[in-house]
Structure 1
Amino acid sequence: MEMNASYTSFVAVGDSFTEGMSDLLPDGSYRGWADLLAGRLAAREPAFRYANLAVRGKLISQIAAEQAPVAAAMGADVVTLVGGLNDALRPKVDMRRVRGHLEEAVELLAPSCKTLVLMRSPGRNGPVMERFRPRMEELFVIIEELAERHGALVVDLYGPAVLGDQRMWDVDRLHLTAEGHRRVAEAVWQTLGLPSQEDWRTELPPSLPPGWTVRRSQDLSFARQHLLPWIGRRLTGRSSGDGRPAKRPELLPYETPAAERLS
């Protein structure tokens, strides 16, 4: 991509990662990498427009059926598609179906926009994630193949060590902190061929790990507040996104929200 690339519209498609959890603003809403990227693009283009169709908890079948057609109809310069990880993290998953739904979404979105961006999502280091790592890597192979076939860009958030650092992850251990989202925004920005402001891959300074007592307290709090409710939703077939509308459903001019200006 050329460094003088110009983008006048951006549509984000996906789940909680693209919705912006857990980059919390003072008013209780979430910002996230897509909003940060939109703000930077808007600063370059006075007529810039932005939509964010992402909804937390969505599976790739739902993203392909509910979000991709809407995004395709918008005809944006840039579309980002991040999905499939919620499927891969489920106890049972048919990766062939995941591939099929990803193909469906990419085949619809790629010809509808000037630039389609896919991602290899970041993965937190730790024993729980190790169980699902083979599925994640299978998903990323699918993404690479689809990108090559359809001329899409791929942002590799999985390889750099910094985004696996536990300090980049919120207490729910599923979503990035504000710093993590800021780095993702920079990674996408650079992938779009825009002038870099920093090396987003720079690792955090060394720190002493918390003691055993602190770790056990954190583990218990995590299990009570996040893990058990997540298991409950899986067992009952519910999702955290049930009934929730898209974050920003229309392709409209972007202005920095008041809550973000105060953060």
Structure 2
Amino acid sequence: MSQYQSLDAEVLRTFVAIAEQGGFTRAGEVVNRTQSAVSMQMKRLEEDILQRQLFEREGRQVRLTAEGEVLLGYARRILKLHGEVFNTLRMPHMVGVVRIGTPDDYAMRFLPGILTRFAQDYPLIHVEVHCDSSKHLMQRQDLDLTIVTREPGNEVGQLLRQERLVWAAAQGFCPQEQRPMPLALFNTDCFCRAWTCNALEQHGIEYRIAYTSPSLAALFAIVSAGLAVTAQLHSLIGGNLRMLDESDGLPQLHVANVMLLRNSQQQSPITDCMAGYIVEGFK
């Protein structure tokens, strides 16, 4: 018989929540417990079970000690295995394949978090991700779930979010000094490209399409090098890029809709489950 006390999964879940949220009160909201209940759990974990100090308290903020950092790694692994056991034994039907189609810009920005959470809960499901333009993805019949960008008035499927198209350039890039202004845009399949060009023409701004690519990563590499301006959805702008606006002499752009399409011919519990994770991940 083991001489060690057991580590309860709920206590470990609370511990991880504290580490991620930086405090007992916010962690309590995550695990649906009162602040006092969270404190009692951690007191028992520190004093009775492990006999190690796990937190250093600074007012309402807490940070992990060296021992706490060690436990955090183990706790996450234990909770992952805990979830796999229950999902495998309680839901053996959740085994199979789900095929997702998405433009690569959403694959870069949203899919990492969505797929991480899905894999933790359903480790036996094989996920296929197919990246292409919205136009091409909508023509495919072999995908279970498809994420596409649509113009207002042409929506199909379930609305995931609305995003304004914004201008972006490298730090220090001055669009007023570039005439004609060089643009880096998706290939002609993207309606956002037409929005961009029409807006510039309506405001009398000279431009030239200097770079095109179907890959967001390629466009961002070009823009980050200070070679051109791009127009992308607001949530995709990051890194060393800065957003431009009217103060930079550029017009405001339209709002696009991000939609989720479901293949009515390939409905399954796996597809429905993944759809729920995608909807949550785009909030």
Shared fold (TM-score, shorter chain, > 0.5)? no
Tell me: higher relative CO, structure 1 or 2? Use CA pairs within 8 A at least 6 residues apart. Answer: 1
Bin of the TM-score, shorter chain as denominator length: under 0.3
* TM-score using structure 1 length: 0.22
More strand, by proportion: 2
Say which one has the larger Rg.
Answer: 2
